[in-house]
Each structure stands twice: as structure tokens, then as C-alpha cells.
Amino acid sequence: MTLYPAPTTLPPRFDQRRYSLLQPPFLIVIFPPPPPPAGGEGKGDGPCNPLHSGSCSPSRIRSRERLIDSSASSFSPAVHSLRMPVLFTIIGICAIAALLLAAFGPYIRRCAGGGVCTSDARLDGKTVLITGANTGIGKETARELARRGARVIIACRDLTKAEAAAHEIREDTGNKQVIVRELDLANTKSIHQFAENVMKEEKLINILINNAGVMMCPYTKTTDGFEMQFGVNHLGHFLLTCLLLDLIKQSAPARIVNVSSFAHVFGRINFKDLQSEKGYDGGLAYCQSKLANVLFTRELAKRLKGTKVTVNSVHPGSVKSELTRHSFIMSLAWKVLTFLIKTPKQGAQTSIYCVVAEELQEISGTHFSDCRPAFVAPQARNEETARKLWDVSCKLLEIRWD
């Protein structure tokens, strides 16, 4: 077998499919059978020039090919031996990365945890109504507000889970004034019935936290025909706030907190297809609903001037919660990046801050994250879009809210 330096340009007669690359800069060259010599097949068995295959007989070519094929196999151990260091290098890098994450993971988690509400303000005598507080951020928010002495109303669709959460909070805080009421934000009749009951049973609603939400679910519609994410995240809370607003005003000073998301940055209000009937993308629909939360907050703040009722929106951060249950990709990402994801308790801090911070008594129409004012996307600051969304929402819900 002969090893030749690998040519920069292969001769035109070479069949590239029959080259076997071993280790640069060498090639094992297998030549195609030449045309029979003029004297007939089998003649011309003299010395064979590998660069001029026409001088070799077919029998000589076949013999040379068998020799090369058998010899090439002897290089397999060498090729595999070169792969082993690469494999060990990759394993080593992964091991080092795992050790670094184990060592610095707690520190990274603390940094990713963001702001912490440092206020120790009490809420004795105050009534808090919070939606979706049977799990995640809402549950931790309810727990902390109950610990501060508030009467907490947990409004949820699943009464079994809500009762379990309420029982846990009562046992943990010693506050027996944690009650459960049924509310389905995907059904306007349920919202009307819930609001009617609250107006009859409660003397005050000092704090309303619109916390419940759905994220990146398959395309479905609410009972009233609204796209699920837009219907629950925006329209449901829009209607609930409208129906309870008189009681909230009577309870002034009062606060409303709308839980939005940084995802509003990627949202656009598609007035031509609000219900995503012409095309549905779960992620874009979620972003649209979160943008609607911010726009609703800013427009409502304008309309509440002089009432001693403030309204602000919050981005809780990337939080490990049940919101990602509808998205396999999001669930997987949350598990892989667990050291960067907030716990529900950490995610609840900004909502708690907006409820209890004394310095926010006169602050309204602001977006918060990590217990401080946060970036608001240009489309969320558009006053014309906010007014139009308000009017369209009233029309869809068949309500008059001046």
C-alpha cells in the first residue's frame, strides 16, 4: 500500500467516491479500472504506475484494491484512539460545569431571586381578595398577607385545591380569616355571581390582586367564546375589577395589583383577530394577554385619579409554577435552568411590595419588578391603544364602564 500526500486538487480521472481519508495529510488512493489496453484484456502486466492507471491491467488493479482494503482496516484502532481523548474532554467539561453549578448554584439562585419586600407593615382590619391563590405565586402572596393580619379571600375555580391551600395557610400563620370563594374567570356568569356575593357579604375590599392566569395552553375558548388566555388573563380580570370597583372605592385608601409579565414586551394587540381565530400561537397569545394587563393598568390608573385607589402591574419574574404545565418546552427549560428560576415565595415578593409598601400610597399606573419600577415596552405606553382596548373590552363583555 502506498500513502500519497493529499493533493489540493484531485486529478480529473479520480473517482472521489472511492477515496478513503485516514489522517491528513495522506490519502489512500483507489483508482478506477482503466480501459482495456490495445493488445486485449490481460496484457500489459508490466510495472504499474499508480499515477497513470491506464498502464495497469485489470487484474493488477483488482489485486491492488484488495490489498488497500485489507490494509485500511489496520488504521481503525488509530482512528478510534484519536476519538477517545475528545470524548474524555467532553465528559471532563461536563463534570467541571456540574461541579461549578453545585458550588455556585445557591449563590446564583439568591441573585436570580431578585428583590425582597422589606416592609413590615401590618394589614390588620384589611380585606384582601386574590384570584388563583391555590398554588404558586398567589398562594405565597396569600400566605404572607395572612401572616400580616389581613382577612384573605381566595377566589379559585377548583374549590378542593383552594380549600387545601387555605387550610395550609391557616395552620402556618395562625390566621383563621382565610376563606375560599368559587370563581371561574373563563365564565362571565361565574364572575357576575361571584361579584354579587362579595358585594353582599363583604363590607370592605381594601386590596384586589388579579393574580390568576393561564399560559401557552392549546387553543381553546372560554364559555363566552373568547380565546382562553385573552379571556382569562385580561377580560376575566377586567370584568371582575369593574364589578367590584364601587366597593373598592368605598374602602379607600385601596390598592389593585395586576400580575403581568415581562412577556408583554413581545406582545401586540391584534384588534383584527383578538380571539386568534385566523391563526393561533400559544406564546404570542400569552404575550398579547400580558400586554393587555399593562395597558389596562395604565388606563385604569388615569380613570381612578382622585379616588385614593391606586393600581399597578407587576412582573413576578421567571417562577417555578404550574403556569408552564401546558408547554413541554417551557417545563423542560424550567427544570434545566432551575438554578435561575425563582421559587414561588421569591416570585410573590413584588406583589407583596405593591400591597404593603408605604411609599407606594400615591403611586399608580406603574409597572414593577423585583420590588422596584421596571421597564415598560413602547407598545404598553401607547395611550391610544390603551383607550381602544378599554372600549373593545367593554363591548365584548357588554358592560358600560366610564
The answer on 303 and 200 residing in a single domain is yes
Per DSSP bridges, beta strands 4-5 and 26-28 are: antiparallel
Distance CA 163, CA 277 (A): 36
Same domain as 123, residue 71: no
Average pLDDT over residues 334-344: 68
Residue 96 counted as domain residue: no
In the listed set 75, 100, 126, which residue is the last one of a domain according to the structure? 75
Check residue 12 and give its pLDDT.
47
Dist. CA 281–CA 35, nearest whole Å: 63
Q: End-to-end CA distance of the chain, in Å?
A: 93
**241 and 135 in a common domain:** yes
CATH of the domain at 320: 3.40.50.720
Strand 372-373 to 4-5 pairing: unpaired
- The whole domain housing 9 covers 4-75
pTM of the model: 0.72
pLDDT score, position 54: 47
Query: According to the model, what pLDDT value does residue 344 have?
Result: 92
Q: What is the pLDDT of residue 394?
A: 98
pLDDT at 22: 42
* 360 and 226 part of one domain: yes
Q: Percent of the chain, pLDDT > 70? A: 68
Mind listing the pLDDT tens digit for each residue in 67-103?
Answer: 455 554 554 555 555 566 666 677 777 667 656 655 5
Q: Report the DSSP pairing between strands 20-21 and 26-28.
A: antiparallel
Same domain for 381 and 322, yes or no, is yes
192 and 321 within one domain: yes
Residue 178 lies in a domain: yes
Q: How confident is the model at residue 162 (pLDDT cuts 50, 70, 90)?
A: very high
Among 347, 342, 316, which Cα is nearest to 109's? 342
Of 110-124, 161-175, 255-269, 342-356, least confident by mean pLDDT is 110-124
What pLDDT was estimated at residue 265?
97
Asked whether residue 170 falls in the same domain as residue 28, the answer is no
φ, ψ for residue 142, nearest 5 deg: -60, -40
Residue at 103 is within a domain: no
User: Is residue 101 a part of any domain in this protein?
Assistant: no
Task: Based on the fold, state whether residues 61 and 119 are members of the same structural domain.
Answer: no
Same domain, 134 and 57: no
C-alpha closest to that of 72 among 36, 112, 20: 20
Q: What is the DSSP letter of 230?
A: I
E strand or H helix that includes residue 349? helix 349-356
Within a domain: residue 303?
A: yes
Report yes or no on 228 lying in a domain. yes
Cell of 30: 483507489
Confidence of residue 332 (pLDDT cuts 50, 70, 90): low
pLDDT tens column, 172-213: 999 999 999 999 999 999 999 999 999 999 999 999 999 999
What percent of the chain is helix, strand and coil (3-state, nearest 5)?
50, 10, 40
286: annotated active-site residue: yes
Overall residue count recorded for the chain in this entry: 402
Active-site residue, selected from the candidate residues 19, 219, 280, 286? 286
Calculate the CA 188 to chain-centre distance: 28
Residue 94's pLDDT is what?
67
Could you report the per-residue pLDDT of 11-47, keeping only the tens digit for each?
Answer: 444 444 444 444 444 444 444 555 555 544 444 444 5
pLDDT category at 135 given cuts 50, 70, 90 is very high
Tell whether 253 is covered by a domain.
yes
Same-domain pairing of 50 and 157: no
The grid cell for 180 is 375560599
Would 104 be classed as within a structural domain? no
* Same-domain pairing of 160 and 71: no
Domain count, the chain: 2
Whether residues 46 and 123 fall in one domain: no
